[in-house]
Chains A and B, each alone.
Chain A
Amino acid sequence: MQDLTDLYQSVILDHNRRPRNYSVLPTANRVGSGNNPMCGDQMTVYVKLEGDRIADLSFQGSGCAISKASTSLMTVNLKGKTIAEAEAIYAGVHKLVTTGTVAEDDMSDLAALAGVHQFPARIKCATLGWHAALNAAKGDAQPVTTEKPSD
């Protein structure tokens, strides 16, 4: 049996209870939305892009502890990063939540998401906000969904 504290680490619980950057960003010039039709979760991510740099970002929406905490952690970690840097960080997060292994760099508080890999049904929760943010930053206006459009 997996230990639930692996999934719900204190960092996750804290970001779920007090999500950071949880607001509408008035200066945003990009908005991305993600939804999970299987559970009804919905996240809207606001991005202020300056050149190819994410100058600021925030989010709002409804979701489980994993999706909320992961998106909250994302806003903290992507602020000030270029799109290329943001994509590299997400690659590390994706590896982390699917395999449980940390990429070579120090992932700091993002490492709290490692437990997700033991719960395959929850991986989509952890990646929802990231897809929405990266798509918005890259100028893809399509809302992202955890399911294929034909589903």
Chain B
Amino acid sequence: MNAAWKNIRADFPILDQQVNGHPLVYLDNAATTQKPQCVIDALTNYYRKDNANVHRGIHTLSMRATSAYEAARERAAKFLNAAEPGEIIFTAGTTDGINLVANAWGDENLKPGDVILLTEMEHHSNMVPWQLLARRTGAKLRYLPIVAGDTGLLDLTQLDKVLTPDVKIFAFIHVSNTLGVINPAAELCAAAKKVGALTLVDAAQSTGHLPLDVRTMGCDFLAVSGHKMCGPTGVGLLYGRKALLDAMPPYRGGGSMISSVEYFESKWAPAPAKFEAGTPNIADVIALARAMDYLDDLGREAIAQHDEKLAAVAYARLQAEVPGIRVLGPAHHRSGVVSFDLKGVHAHDVVTMADQEGVALRGGHHCNQPLMKKLGLSSTSRASFYLYNTEAEIDRLVATLQKISKFFAG
């Protein structure tokens, strides 16, 4: 770990506070991550010094805002190793990016009988847009199952059976928000390519958490949320291969996405402008680029190792030290997400009680009701780690869960 890691907790002012009389232990990073001071500064500096609308203005502030906005696109292209900045569309987040593809690409390219392949571990955001698309076009949904048991791994022995030539797009989550599974994205993309299917990767939990390179992965689309990687809320990225973006019709109409407009017809601007109608989320885009710098200063390989180590320690200690706990997900090669079920204690009660100890967890179905059903659970509690979490915080987590378990065993 390099020098950037040295005072890492001081980079995040929000961490330094008491919650219900205890120092905050923030373990809800899969929901959203905290923001370093440099990202907060990027936001405030933009509004204090450079705020103006982009792309149309001739005046100095507008040119400054435009150049920072487009520099952010270059930064994002580099961050994902896209072939060119024109492959990056700024969105409101992962959900927005998936909806863009399901609408702009899906409506144009799917017909009755075509198959949309998903996996059983998808977040609702990578399920519902496809259900809507299937309803509009008559295409069918199909799912790659997960193996029986608690690891939550994809059943790759079934891949050839479900990934057939009638599959037009295979959309899958890179890292599971529920179970922490890291899916073999490159392998899945290669398999899809073999049958002529496109791929969309939901990278909400992986971008900014582990090294990610769209060209090595070989995906066609990849959707990202800024707020899950130290960036602001309400901003995200959609990567799309340029040839695909060029061929797709627009998603939303408005200013900025046209080359010419007449009263009854308009011509579209080339991608990415074609997909960015209206005044974009300039400030958040610029701050998101700053978050990418921050993450690369730390090193994404180092972040992945840090998360995996904390998750492994938490997995082992919870299993060994908390009575009546069932820890879900794989024991090894996982992200920083650790979900668990405490016997006889509902996740809501776990989260309320942990909050009283200053420990922020999440409880519920984690936007994956079908997966919960398959695991035979209605909800789980989830601790999710990120770069600023420490082993001392796992001590607090373990002690808190022991207390909860004891309280309910009464």
Question: Are B349 and A66 in contact, with the CB atoms below 8 A?
Answer: yes
**A38 to B353, alpha carbons, bound, how many Å?**
18
A117 to chain B, nearest CB (A): 14
A1-B21, A2-B356, A4-B356 known; A40+B369 contact, CB < 8 A: yes
Cβ contacts under 8 Å, A122 to chain B: 348, 352
The 5 A-B residue pairs whose C-beta atoms are closest, nearest first, are: A64-B346, A64-B348, A40-B365, A39-B364, A62-B378
Within 8 A of B (CB), among A32-58: 38-42
Question: Are B356 and A39 in contact, with the CB atoms below 8 A?
Answer: no
Question: Are A65 and B349 in contact, with the CB atoms below 8 A?
Answer: yes
Any B CB within 8 A of the CB of A13: yes
Any A CB within 8 A of the CB of B408: yes
Chain A interface, DSSP helix/strand/loop, else mixed: mixed
**A16 to B348, alpha carbons, bound, how many Å?**
13
Q: Which residue in chain A gives the minimum CB-CB distance to B19?
A: A1
Residues in A lying within 8 Å of B, measured CB to CB: 1-2, 4, 7-8, 13, 17, 38-42, 62-66, 68, 119, 121-122, 125
Cβ contacts under 8 Å, B352 to chain A: 4, 7, 119, 121-122
Question: Are A1 and B356 in contact, with the CB atoms below 8 A?
Answer: yes
A1-B356, A13-B410, A64-B348 known; A39+B20 contact, CB < 8 A: no
Residues in B lying within 8 Å of A, measured CB to CB: 20-21, 344-349, 352-353, 356, 363-365, 369, 372, 378-379, 407-408, 410
Supplied contacts A39-B365, A40-B379, A65-B345, 12 more A-B pairs, CB within 8 Å? A2-B356, A4-B352, A8-B353, A39-B363, A40-B372, A40-B378, A41-B379, A64-B347, A64-B348, A66-B348, A119-B352, A125-B348
A38-B364, A40-B372 known; A13+B347 contact, CB < 8 A: no
Cβ contacts under 8 Å, B379 to chain A: 39-41
Question: Are A40 and B364 in contact, with the CB atoms below 8 A?
Answer: yes
**A121 to B353, alpha carbons, bound, how many Å?**
13
Most A-side CB within 10 Å, residue of B353, B378, B407:
B378
Could you write out 11 A-B pairs with CB less than 8 Å apart?
A1-B356, A4-B352, A8-B353, A39-B348, A39-B378, A40-B365, A40-B372, A41-B378, A62-B346, A62-B378, A122-B348
B22 to chain A, nearest CB (A): 8
**A40 to B347, alpha carbons, bound, how many Å?**
10
Cβ contacts under 8 Å, A66 to chain B: 348-349
CB-contact partner of B347 in A2, A39, A42, A119, under 8 A: A39
Cβ contacts under 8 Å, B348 to chain A: 39, 41, 64-66, 122, 125
A11 to chain B, nearest CB (A): 13
**A38 to B347, alpha carbons, bound, how many Å?**
12
**A132 to B222, alpha carbons, bound, how many Å?**
42
B401 to chain A, nearest CB (A): 14
Q: Which residue in chain B gives the minimum CB-CB distance to A122?
A: B352
Cβ contacts under 8 Å, A39 to chain B: 347-348, 363-365, 378-379
Most B-side CB within 10 Å, residue of A4, A13, A62, A68:
A4
